[in-house]
Amino acid sequence: MCGCITLSYYYEKREKNKLMQLSNMRDFILHIRTKIDYFLTPLHIIYSEYTNPFIMTLINDDFNNLDFYFEKDASPLIKEFFSSVGKGLKDEEIALCDYTLSKLELIYENNEKELKNKIKVFRTLAIFGGASVCILMI
């Protein structure tokens, strides 16, 4: 029974981690927007100044392994953003950041709602799975 509960907490932690990574990405895109809007900072300097270890891993990876870190609905949006950012004028860059932030916000809210339901399912399955194993052993 303890094994089933441990497994459910592992899955719960993994799902919470994905949500946290999505939140980190929103913060990073907001940081990019702010630096472009107020300071006209070049993109390579923005990348070098940001200190979040998760974002640094993605930057060093050239944003190639996004499917591993994000849900399938957020990954193409983030790939599109990072393939387009830095190639336009200031107003275009800000519009791109705003568009991406609004879409990521919707994805975040949906994933947050789904997470609550997934946690309930994980815990219920763990309890019933552990109980059924105990009953089978008796």
Q: What is the pLDDT of residues 3-24, one digit of tens each?
A: 777 888 898 999 999 999 999 9
Question: CB within 8 A of 17, min separation 6: which ones?
Answer: none
Cβ neighbours of residue 134 under 8 Å, at least 6 residues apart? Answer: 1
The rounded distance, in Å, linking the Cα atoms of 15 and 17 is 5
pTM: 0.88
Rounded Cα distance, 112 and 53, in Å? 23
Average pLDDT of the residues of the chain: 91
Report the alpha-carbon distance of residue 133 to residue 102 in Å, rounded.
46
Number of structural domains (the chain) is 1
Integer angstrom CA distances of residue 111 from 17, 82, 94: 12, 22, 25
Cα atoms found within 13 Å of the Cα of residue 126, Cβ hemisphere only: 18
Domain limits for position 95: 2-137
More confident residue, 2 or 123: 123
Q: Are 31 and 50 in contact (CB under 8 A)?
A: yes
